[in-house]
Amino acid sequence: MSENQIQAVFIDRDGTIGGDGEVIYPHEFQAFPFVKGSIDLLK
């Protein structure tokens, strides 16, 4: 494994990639518009 390779990324869901702090059920969660592109960059 390369010294510069990312092994893991931990992302807090509420307020970081979406949500408004009021989400109770997973199906109610709304991601911010930029999230898919940002996560694709991590891959």
Q: Which residue has the tokens 């510069």?
A: 4
Cβ neighbours of residue 2 closer than 8 Å, sequence gap 6 or more: none
The 10s digit of each residue's pLDDT in 10-41 is 887 777 888 887 777 888 888 899 999 988 98
Cβ neighbours of residue 15 closer than 8 Å, sequence gap 6 or more: 21
- Cβ pair 39, 32 in contact under 8 A: no
Phi, psi of 32 (to 5 degrees): -65, 155
d(CA 18, CA 1): 32
Q: What is the pTM of this model?
A: 0.56
Please determine, for residue 1, whether its predicted confidence score (pLDDT) is greater than 70.
no
